[in-house]
Structure 1
Amino acid sequence: MDTPTADTPHGTAGAETAPILRPGVNCWRLERAARVGLIVDTAAYFEALREACDAARHSILILGWDFDRREPLGRGAGTGEPDPPPLAEYLARLLERNPELEIHLLIWDFHVIYTPERELFQRWRLRLQGHTRLHLQLDSRHPPGGSQHQKLVVVDDRLAFAGGIDLSRWRWDTPAHRPDDPRRIDPDGKPYPPFHDLMMAVDGPAARALGELARARWDASGSPGRPPAPAPATGTDPWPPSVEPALRDQEIAIARTLPEYEDRVAVREVERLYLDGIEAARRWIYIENQYFTSQRLTSALARRLQEPDGPEVMLVLPRHTGGWLEQVTMDALRGRRLETLRQADRHHRFGVYHPHQPGLGEEECISVHAKLLVVDDRLLRIGSSNTSDRSLGLDSECDLALEADAGEAAREAVRNFRHRLLGEHLDRPAAAVAAEETRQGSLLAAVERLRGKGRSLRPLESDGGAAAERLPDSGLIDPDEPISPDYFVRRFIPASRHGHGRRRLGLFLGFIGVLLTAAAAWRWSPLAEWLTPERLAAWLETARTPVIRETLVLAAFVAASLLMAPLTLLVVAAGLLLGPWLGFACAFAGALISALCGFLLGRVLGRSGLDRLSGSRLHRLSRRLADQGILAVAMLRLVPVAPYTVVNLVAGATHLRLGAFLLGSALGLAPGVLGLAVFSGSLLRALADPGPGTLLLLVAVAAVLVGGALTLRRLLGSGRSG
Structure 2
Amino acid sequence: MTRDVLVPDDTVWTVAEAERFALIIDAADYFRLAKAAMVKARRRVLLVGWDFDARIELEPEGQTVEGPNRVGAFFDWLAKTRPDLEVRILKWDIGILRSLGRGETPAYVLHWLWPRGIDFRLDSAHPTTSAHHMKILVVDDKLAFCGGIDMTMGRWDTREHREERHGRRSPRGKPMPPWHDVTSCVSGPAARALARLAADRWRWATDEVLGPVDVAEDPWPAGLEPDFHGIALGIARTLPRYEDRAPVSEILAATYAMIRRAERCLYIESQYLAARRICEALAERLSEPAGPEIVIINPETADGWLEAKAMDTARVRMLRLLKEADVHGRLRIYYPVTARGTPIYVHAKIMFADDVALKVGSANLNNRSMGYDSECDLVLDAGADPDLRAQVRTVRDGLVAEHVGVPAAEVTAALERANGSLINAIQALNMGGRPHLVPLEPRELSLAEELFAESDAADPIRPVGLRRLIRSLLRRAPVRRLRRRRAATGRSS
Whether the TM-score (by the shorter chain) exceeds 0.5 is yes
- Whether the 8 Å contact between 1:291 and 1:334 is mirrored in structure 2 is yes
Equivalent residues in 2 for 1:145-544, closer than 5 Å: 145-221=129-205, 223=206, 225-230=208-213, 232-235=214-217, 237-359=218-340, 365-405=343-383, 407-441=385-419, 442-454=421-433, 455-463=435-443, 468-484=449-465
Residue of 33, 48, 56 corresponding to 1:48: 33
User: Aligned pair in 2 of structure 1 residues 471, 102: CA closer, same or farther (>3 Å)?
Assistant: same
The change in CA–CA distance for 1:294 and 1:345 in structure 2 (over 3 A counts) is same
1:131-162 deviation line (CA, Å, top 9, x unaligned): 63310000112111201100000000000000
Structure 2 counterpart SS, 1:483: coil
What is residue 141 of structure 1 aligned with on the other side? 125
The question of whether the paired residues in 2 share the 8 Å contact of 1:196 and 1:366 is answered with yes
Partners of 1:182 and 1:200 in 2: CA distance: 25
Question: What corresponds to 1:125 in structure 2?
Answer: 111
Q: Does 1:26 align with 2:11?
A: yes
Conserved 8 A contact 2:356-2:383? yes
Pair 1:45–1:446, CA change in 2 (3 A): same
Amino acid at match of 1:348: G
Question: CA contact under 8 A between 1:76 and 1:84: conserved in structure 2?
Answer: no
Aligned-pair CA distance for 1:338: 0.8
Task: From the superposition, tell whether residues 87 and 625 of structure 1 become closer, same or farther in structure 2 (CA, over 3 Å).
Answer: farther
Q: Is the 8 A contact 1:164 1:371 kept in 2?
A: yes
Q: Considering fraction of residues, name the structure with more helix.
A: 1
SS at match of 1:314: strand
8 A Cα contact 2:164 2:175, kept in partner: no
Superposed displacement of residue 472, structure 1 = 4.9
Give, in angstroms, the shift of residue 464 of structure 1.
Answer: 5.6
1:294 counterpart letter in structure 2: A
Residue 329 of structure 1 and its aligned partner are, at CA, apart by 2.4
Provide the rounded CA distance (Å) in 2 between the counterparts of 1:157 and 1:263: 27
Alignment-mate amino acid for residue 436 of structure 2: S
Letter in 2 for 1:326: E
CA-CA distance at 1:434 after TM superposition? 0.4
Matched to 1:621, the amino acid is: P
SS at match of 2:21: strand
The match for 1:621 is 478
Alpha-carbon shift at residue 624 of structure 1 (Å): 7.6
2:428 counterpart letter in structure 1: R
Amino acid at match of 1:387: L
| CA distance, structure 2, for counterparts of residue 238 and residue 111 of structure 1 | 29
* 1:82–1:161 Cα change, 3 Å: closer
The superposition leaves residues 343-367 of structure 1 with CA deviations (integer Å, 9 ceiling, x where unpaired) of: 000111000011011446xxx6211
Post-superposition Cα deviations, 1:538-573, rounded to whole Å, max 9, x if no partner, equal xxxxxxxxxxxxxxxxxxxxxxxxxxxxxxxxxxxx
Kindly state the Cα deviation for residue 475 of structure 1 after the two structures are TM-superposed.
Answer: 2.0
Residues 127 and 365 (structure 1 numbering): CA distance in 2 closer, same or farther, change over 3 Å?
same
Structure 1 Cα separation of the partners of residues 55 and 457 of structure 2: 35
Aligned partner of residue 457 in structure 2, secondary structure: helix
Q: Provide the TM-score with structure 1 as the length reference.
A: 0.63
Match of 1:104 in 2: 88
1:210 aligned counterpart, secondary structure:
helix
Write the distance in 2 (CA, Å) between the matches of 1:624 and 1:323: 29
CA contact (8 A) 2:138 2:191 kept: yes
Tell me the amino acid that sits aligned with residue 452 of structure 1. Answer: M
Structure 1 stretches lacking a partner, 5+ long: 1-12, 489-508, 510-605, 611-616, 628-722
1:436-488 deviation digits (Å, cap 9, x = unpaired): 11111211111111110122111112216667424352422311001249978
Question: Offset of 1:76 from its aligned partner?
Answer: 2.8
Cα distance, 1:406 vs structure 2: 6.5
Could you list the per-position Cα deviations for residues 572-592 of structure 1 after superposition, in whole angstroms to 9, with x for gaps in the alignment?
xxxxxxxxxxxxxxxxxxxxx
Code of the aligned partner of 2:366: S
1:23·1:30 contact (CA, 8 Å) conserved in 2?
yes
> 1:323 offset after TM fit, Å?
2.8
In structure 1, C-alpha distance between the alignment counterparts of 2:124 and 2:105, rounded to whole Å = 15
Report the CA distance shift for 1:472/1:204 in structure 2 as closer, same or farther (over 3 A).
closer
In structure 2, the CA distance between the partners of 1:112 and 1:430, relative to structure 1 (3 Å rule), is closer
Query: Could you tell me which amino acid in structure 2 is paired with residue 32 of structure 1?
Result: E
What is the distance in 2 between the residues matched to 1:422 and 1:261? 39
Instruction: Say which SS state the counterpart of residue 61 (structure 1) adopts.
Output: strand
How much has 1:74 moved relative to structure 2? Answer: 1.9
For 2:129 and 2:198, the matched residues in 1 are separated by: 22
Cα gap change, 1:625/1:375 in structure 2, threshold over 3 Å: closer, same or farther?
A: closer
Counterpart CA distance in 1 for 2:45 and 2:406 is 38
Q: CA separation of 1:372/1:101 partners in 2, compared to 1, >3 Å: closer, same or farther?
A: same
- Alpha carbons 2:138, 2:145 under 8 Å: kept: yes
Give the drift of 1:75: 2.0
Structure 1: how far apart are the matches of 2:461 and 2:39? 39
Contact kept? 1:47, 1:242, Cα under 8 Å: no
Q: TM-score, normalised by structure 2?
A: 0.91
Q: Structure 2: where are the runs of 5+ without partners? A: 485-493
Which of 62, 70, 74 aligns to 2:47? It is 62
- Structure 1 vs Structure 2: percent identity of aligned residues? 38
Q: Distance in 2 between matches of 1:382 and 1:430?
A: 20
- Aligned mates of 2:103, 2:477 — CA distance in 1: 36
Supply the AA of the counterpart residue of 1:136.
Answer: F
